[in-house]
């Protein structure tokens, strides 16, 4: 099994097989417009511009499951991403990424790349861990997505290579991306 066995609807509502991205290196991320990590859109766009000609694609999946930080419609999400961050990589319709109603792709991703904890030696790692511990302790259980901007790196064969938690900046993935291109 690989990510090519899944499909999803684009932000415009068109069903797309992830097989369309066969042979590409992918970053798959759950995103939100009103999150402290939302500025990561800017660096995801920069990574995309830097490496798209070498085969990098970014697939963003907006999600409203974490602090209701993606309350807008799909149209509003698309406009927000384009106006504020110049996003021209593929954005999909809003989905759930954890729980019983999670999109099958995210169920697969979290099995293939389980949660290994936050780097609590960094300020953001400590902050996110503390916020989740105090306000959303259920999010810390199991391998599910913990918060917005969890990123998965996928190789050209559709296999999950690595999971990056929200506290990892997009450019923290650059060396791993270059190895796969």
Exactly one of 35, 44, 47, 87 is catalytic; which is it?
Answer: 35
* Burial (CB count within 10 angstroms: exposed 0-12, middle 13-18, buried 19+), residue 75: exposed
Instruction: Residue 43: name the closest of 159, 173, 179 by CA.
Output: 173
Told to judge if 35 belongs to the known catalytic residues of this protein, a careful annotator would answer yes
Instruction: Residue 105: name the closest of 137, 73, 74, 63 by CA.
Output: 63
CA distance 22 to 81: 25
Instruction: Just list the catalytic residues.
Output: 35
């Amino acid at each position: 099994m690989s990510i090519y066995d899944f499909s999803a609807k684009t932000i415009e509502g068109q069903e797309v097989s992830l097989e369309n991205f066969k042979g590409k290196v992918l970053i798959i991320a759950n995103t939100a417009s009103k999150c402290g990590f939302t500025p990561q859109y800017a660096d995801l766009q920069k990574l995309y511009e830097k490496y798209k000609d070498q085969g990098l694609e970014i697939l963003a999946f907006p999600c409203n499951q974490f602090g209701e930080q993606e309350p807008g419609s799909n149209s509003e999400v698309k406009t927000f991403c384009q106006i504020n961050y110049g996003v021209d990589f593929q954005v999909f319709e809003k989905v759930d990424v954890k729980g019983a109603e999670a999109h099958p792709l995210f169920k697969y991703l979290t099995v293939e790349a389980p949660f290994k904890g936050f780097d609590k030696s960094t300020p953001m790692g400590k902050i996110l861990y503390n916020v989740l511990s105090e306000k959303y302790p259920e999010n810390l259980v199991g391998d599910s997505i913990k918060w917005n901007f969890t990123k998965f790196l996928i190789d050209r064969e559709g296999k999950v290579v690595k999971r990056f938690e929200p506290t990892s900046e997009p450019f923290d993935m650059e060396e791993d991306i270059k190895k796969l291109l």
